Structure 1
Amino acid sequence: MSWASFAEACARVRELCVEHLGEHVGTQFAALAKPGFGLRPVQPGRTAAGLGRWGGPALLNPGTPWPEHDGVPLSLFAVLDVDALGSWLGDERPPDGLLNIFFFDPDIRRGYVLEGAPLLDLDDPRCCRIIPADPARAIERAAPAPASFHAPEPFSAVPVVTLPSMQGVSYDPVLDTVDYGGETEDSLHYRSMPGWPASDRLGDPWLEFCEREQGLYKYEDVSFSPDQAFGWPILENSFPQLKKPYRHLITIGHHDLGDGGYVHFVLPLKAFRDGDYEQAVALVEGF
């Protein structure tokens, strides 16, 4: 489905939230909705999202050094062309027009030597880097060895509305901030984790809504696709980094990037608004 406006999408989301959670809680959940984009391979009838793509060379301003971690060059996972996404993001739009998304993924076939290499800690923020560029000045830079290189594949960006993740015990911590109106449950787990009842009641209907009306998290012959820009990420695990206000930049899990699984790239709220990408962290699911 193609939404005419974010307001129209939010109205439908509010109906769903109130239906499953009641007026008091459902209205609060609907207010958490954020605009995002489902990222899909470009096929007939779809338009590429500007310069946006998975893999390929980086698009960097002249003189920008290639990012490294412990002397090993990072791999380019995606380029995100924010300027090409239009007005759908509203106030959720970051200040830079072109963003290069890097992650630590060296390739043995390109000369990476495992023996003597530092132990890989994917929680180390140095494993990822977000580097902005000016679309009018950016030039292509090929990934130096032993960084992995993936053939470029343009993607299209479909406007969607998102809610915080509600996947069982891995729900987004922001759900614990909702006023549940003194509602209690017999389960001790429900009392200690207030977001659980909402997850139970709305989690499955919300995923069904996303697949049915937005094509989010599922397309073509792919049973689950997390590829998404902005909005709320869908979480399979719990991450302590999300206990403070944050913004989601992009989730990448497309094709053969990395060793499987997928990666969320997020920033603290203020850093996102200021374009301070040095504070970006990567949250890894199933690598």
Structure 2
Amino acid sequence: MDPESTLSALRDFSADRLGPELAARFVELARPGFALTEAESPGEVAGHSRFGGRAMLEPGTPWPTCDGFPLSLIAVLDTDALAPWLGDVLPAGTGLLNFFFLDAESEQCDPASYDLMSKYGHYEVEVSSVIAARSAHAVETSPPVRSSVFDPVPWAATPGFAFPDTWDPAWNGFDVGPDADDMARAMPGDYVENRLTEWSQRPGALDSEDIAFGWPRFPTGSSPMVPFGKDPTHYHHLLQLSSHDEWAIGGDGGWMHWAIPTDALRTGDFGQAVPTPDIW
């Protein structure tokens, strides 16, 4: 289905369980996104979208560093291939998004990365970078010495709509209706979720731990850790990554996320993207 038809079906599905008024407010929270899974054939790959491999940068683009130490390419999203489902979420012609992070976890990582990660931590902008490249100009770029290179895993991208998890600040002030009790008003996300029976069968479900755009999921029950003093409701999710064979985050485990101020996303200013991981 196309985005409009999927949203219409999602409203009907939600209205059957929440009533039309609450369902309409709930579906307003929906954001278009993609479930990312390993492509089983070349024809399934969403353009150049993949975990790992080499960066796709325009010639002359500096490789991102942390205090002079090179970051590692973690993933590439081909937004030209994803654009028809995203609508006006990001500017036309954004092209390829390269996601970099300081690799201090994998077997490849350089020991010098430990001190840098101890200095900054996983949530600071110094250890992360998102660089856009126009598809017609981007070329596969070899990394500098001490940057990790992970085996590429091409992604298929299944479109759908994501919703904020129950602890996301997007629920703050959500109107659950006049008949809801005080507990429902205190925890509107839980209230709505508990009434949505057969939720996994909804139209446009995103069934994956790796997700592009949409909303982030935080298994630890937290919310996006944006820079101090910033409002997380003014940020848009870019990419969620679970652990992969060669790369993980956060010691015992975690899911990696990147987010960006919504205004910066609309203008294509990916230099304002920040890491917002969920670590346990």
Q: What range is the shorter-chain TM-score in?
A: 0.7 to 0.9
Cα–Cα, structure 1 residues 201 and 53, in superposed 2: closer, same or farther, change >3 Å?
same
Give the corresponding residue for 1:230: 213
Paired residues for 1:16-35 under 5 Å: 16-35=13-32
Q: Give RMSD over aligned pairs.
A: 2.5
Q: CA deviation at 1:133?
A: 0.8
Give the corresponding residue for 1:178: 174
SS at match of 1:26: helix
Give the corresponding residue for 2:47: 50
Give the corresponding residue for 1:220: none
Alpha-carbon distance in structure 1 between the residues aligned to 2:113 and 2:225: 29
Q: How many residues align?
A: 267
Task: Specify every segment of 5 or more residues in structure 2 that has no aligned partner in the other structure, as ranges.
Answer: none
Percent identity, aligned pairs only, is 36
Matched-pair contact (CA < 8 Å) for 2:236–2:262: yes
Alpha-carbon distance in structure 1 between the residues aligned to 2:127 and 2:42: 36
- Code of the residue aligned with 1:131 in structure 2: it is I
- Is 1:199 the counterpart of 2:193? The answer is yes
Give the corresponding residue for 2:248: 258
Matched-pair contact (CA < 8 Å) for 1:54–1:152: yes
Q: CA deviation at 1:173?
A: 1.5
- Code of the residue aligned with 1:145 in structure 2: it is V
Deviations, residues 213-269 of structure 1 (Å, cap 9, x unaligned): 65633xxxxxxx321111222232223536322211111225233344321211111
Matched-pair contact (CA < 8 Å) for 1:175–1:194: yes
- Code of the residue aligned with 2:147 in structure 1: it is A
Alpha-carbon distance in structure 2 between the residues aligned to 1:46 and 1:36: 20
Cα–Cα, structure 1 residues 97 and 177, in superposed 2: closer, same or farther, change >3 Å?
farther
Matched-pair contact (CA < 8 Å) for 2:123–2:225: no
- Code of the residue aligned with 1:216 in structure 2: it is L
Give the corresponding residue for 2:238: 249
Alpha-carbon distance in structure 1 between the residues aligned to 2:159 and 2:213: 10
SS at match of 1:78: strand
**What is the TM-score normalised by the length of structure 2?**
0.84
Alpha-carbon distance in structure 2 between the residues aligned to 1:46 and 1:216: 20
Alpha-carbon distance in structure 2 between the residues aligned to 1:27 and 1:115: 48
Give the corresponding residue for 2:102: 104
Q: CA deviation at 1:59?
A: 0.8
Paired residues for 1:111-260 under 5 Å: 111-113=110-112, 117=116, 119=118, 120-166=120-166, 170=167, 172-187=168-183, 190-202=184-196, 205-206=198-199, 208-209=200-201, 216-217=206-207, 225-236=208-219, 237-241=222-226, 243-253=232-242, 255-256=244-245, 257-259=247-249, 260=253
Alpha-carbon distance in structure 1 between the residues aligned to 2:142 and 2:176: 52
**What is the TM-score normalised by the length of structure 1?**
0.82
Matched-pair contact (CA < 8 Å) for 1:110–1:145: no
Task: Work out which of the residue numbers 3, 6, 19 in structure 2 matches 1:6.
Answer: 3
Matched-pair contact (CA < 8 Å) for 1:176–1:195: no
Give the corresponding residue for 1:89: 86
Alpha-carbon distance in structure 2 between the residues aligned to 1:156 and 1:109: 26
Give the corresponding residue for 1:221: none
Cα–Cα, structure 1 residues 162 and 232, in superposed 2: closer, same or farther, change >3 Å?
same
- Code of the residue aligned with 1:91 in structure 2: it is D
Cα–Cα, structure 1 residues 195 and 13, in superposed 2: closer, same or farther, change >3 Å?
same
Task: Specify every segment of 5 or more residues in structure 1 that has no aligned partner in the other structure, as ranges.
Answer: 218-224
Task: Work out which of the residue numbers 249, 267, 277 in structure 2 matches 1:274.
Answer: 267
- Code of the residue aligned with 1:247 in structure 2: it is H
